[in-house]
């Protein structure tokens, strides 16, 4: 088993009507500084979102959510922010916003494999099936 490493994560949320404050967890951003590992994973449940906001623009929301994945991955295709170092990108991604796409406060944990930790967080915090477990 790999040596446990510290990591930070935040939940990506969709808040379709900011004034109502209702939100839907749509993804996770995970940063493991010791391994210089940054990823975001998004899994938007369209049915749940439409139950909160029947008039939600799914295509626009999906496009904004996918930008989190691109920025976390880095590189030229994610614009100037994607060229920053991973730690700076993580801080940019988790900065407070008052828009339809928001992020939770940053949480910490330990993991042997950040990819497995990201999958676990998606399973427990985002996927609907996890609610009944």
Contact 93, 71 (CB under 8 A): yes
Contact 79, 73 (CB under 8 A): no
* Residue-level pLDDT at 130: 47
Give tens-digit pLDDT for 99-115: 999 999 999 999 999 99
Q: What is the DSSP-derived secondary structure letter of residue 44?
A: -
β pairing state of 24-32 and 37-42:
antiparallel
pLDDT above 70 for 77: yes
Q: Which of 6, 5, 9 lies closest to 94 in space, CA to CA?
A: 9
pLDDT above 70 for 124: yes
* Residue-level pLDDT at 129: 65
Element (H, E) at 52: helix 46-52
Write the DSSP assignment of 56-122 as a string of letters: --HHHHHHHHHHHHHHHH-SGGGHHHHTS-HHHHHHHHTS---SSEEE---EEEEES-HHHHHHHHH
pLDDT above 60 for 133: no
Angle at 85 between CA 40 and CA 2, to 5 degrees: 60
Count of structural domains within the chain:
1
* Distance of alpha carbon 30 from alpha carbon 12, whole angstroms: 11
Q: Domain containing 87: what range?
A: 5-132
């Amino acid at each position: 088993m790999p040596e446990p490493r510290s990591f930070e994560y935040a939940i990506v949320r969709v808040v379709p009507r900011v004034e109502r404050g209702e939100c839907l967890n749509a993804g996770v951003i995970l940063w493991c500084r010791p391994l210089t590992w940054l990823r975001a994973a998004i899994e938007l449940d369209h049915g749940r979102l439409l139950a909160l906001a029947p008039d939600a623009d799914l295509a626009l929301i999906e496009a904004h959510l996918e930008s989190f994945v691109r920025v976390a991955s880095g590189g030229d295709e994610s614009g100037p922010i994607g060229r920053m170092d991973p730690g700076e990108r993580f801080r940019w991604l988790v900065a407070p916003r008052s828009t339809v796409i928001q992020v939770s406060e940053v949480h910490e944990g330990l993991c042997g494999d950040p990819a497995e930790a990201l999958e676990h967080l998606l399973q427990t915090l985002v996927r609907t099936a996890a609610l009944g477990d």
